[in-house]
């Protein structure tokens, strides 16, 4: 599933890049006209005198081009791949959620009616990490309840690792996106000072234009980091909920097996 989402992310990035490249070619001439327009012209005049607002997607595309295709593309790559990994984790954790109270009731009923083998069958037919932990514990029932408890704890750690798989990449994109933005800002400021040096004069137009282009990359990196951070915290919250569920259910399983031994 993870490979499928990464493939979709790469395909979406290719489509976005192609669309942006064509837009950059088509908007080069209007950008020059706007730059040479008199200062007293209103925004409505620059839009053709209609006073219509620029669509959101068009404004974002313009800012992307102004920020520089190089660094902005890297920031967009962080966003797309990070979102793909986050959505994959959310779907995985959502499907891993199960009704543990119902599972415990079914296991208890199976132990009373058919013994450990029937309880194993119930766990095999139930999805989710809790059922997998129960099954691994029941496999070692003949070695004693203490061995079952150790197995449940060990396999619970394995399930935790599987649930956290991919989170390190999301946290990497959260850290690297604003860093790329800051790097683009620094390079943009260097270019602005180069332009001032070439002009031989500190012109407000030269300084403002260079700083605007530089700061766009910072804004883009911060926005990407904030979006991914929300998804990251949501995933952590779901993992915490599943972990608590697993720990509580594991204790209940040990209690069930202890009572089953006493009855035998």
* Helix 56-67 / helix 2-35 crossing angle, nearest 10 deg: 80
| Whether the predicted model's global pTM rises above the 0.95 cut | no
Residue 172 burial by Cβ neighbours in a 10 Å radius (0-12, 13-18, 19+):
middle
Of 195, 223, 215, the closest CA to residue 207 belongs to 195
Distances (CA, A) of 260 to 67, 78, 218: 68, 53, 62
Of 20, 156, 161, 132, the closest CA to residue 77 belongs to 20
Query: Could you tell me how far CA 170 lies from the centroid of its own chain?
Result: 6
Q: Are 130 and 245 in contact (CB under 8 A)?
A: yes
pLDDT tens digit sequence for 93-115 = 998 888 888 888 998 888 888 88
Residues of the chain with pLDDT under 70: 1-52, 54, 56-69, 200-210, 264
pLDDT at 214: 72
Of 78, 82, 96, 77, the closest CA to residue 5 belongs to 82
Would you state the structure tokens that stand for residue 78, as one six-digit string?
């962080």
pLDDT at 210: 65
């Amino acid at each position: 599933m993870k490979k499928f989402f990464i493939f979709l992310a790469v395909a979406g990035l290719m489509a976005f890049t192609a669309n942006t490249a064509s837009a950059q070619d088509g908007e080069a001439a209007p950008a020059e006209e706007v730059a040479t327009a008199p200062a007293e012209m209103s925004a409505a005049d620059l839009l053709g005198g209609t006073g219509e607002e620029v669509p959101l997607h068009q404004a974002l595309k313009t800012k992307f081009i102004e920020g520089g295709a190089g660094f902005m593309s890297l920031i967009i790559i962080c966003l797309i791949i990070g979102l793909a990994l986050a959505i994959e984790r959310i779907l995985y954790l959502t499907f891993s959620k199960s009704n543990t109270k119902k599972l415990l009731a079914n296991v208890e009923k199976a132990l009373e009616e058919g013994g450990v083998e029937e309880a194993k069958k119930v766990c095999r037919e139930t999805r989710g990490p809790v059922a997998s932990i129960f099954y691994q514990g029941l496999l070692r029932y003949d070695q004693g309840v203490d061995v079952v408890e150790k197995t449940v704890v060990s396999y619970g750690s394995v399930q935790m690792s599987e649930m956290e798989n991919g989170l390190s990449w999301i946290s990497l994109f959260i850290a690297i996106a604003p860093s790329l933005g800051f790097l683009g800002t620094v390079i943009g400021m260097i270019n602005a000072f180069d332009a001032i040096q070439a002009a031989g004069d500190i012109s407000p137009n030269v300084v403002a234009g260079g700083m605007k282009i530089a700061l766009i990359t910072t804004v883009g990196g911060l926005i990407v980091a904030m979006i991914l951070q929300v998804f990251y915290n949501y995933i952590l919250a779901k993992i915490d909920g599943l972990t608590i569920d697993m720990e509580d259910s594991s204790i209940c399983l040990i209690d069930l097996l202890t009572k089953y031994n006493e009855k035998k």
